[in-house]
Amino acid sequence: MAIETLACPDCGAELQMGLPRNSTVRSVAPEPREEPADDRVKERENACPNGHRLYVTFEF
């Protein structure tokens, strides 16, 4: 697992999130995306330090 530093799309606050090694972050959004068609693309929910919900889409 690798630790990625991400920015909240609402307020810009930084947060750290563990993602699989060699994964690529595709987007950080305030709302969930449509179900990915590719099995190598996943989405995880998280929250910034200010409590804003965000959804991280990544490919591995």
Which residue is listed with tokens 């987007």?
Answer: 27
**Is residue 53 a contact partner of residue 47, using CB atoms and an 8 Å limit?**
yes
Strands 2-7 and 14-19: antiparallel
pLDDT in tens, 7-42: 999 999 999 999 999 999 999 999 998 877 788 999
Instruction: Output the pTM of the full model.
Output: 0.88
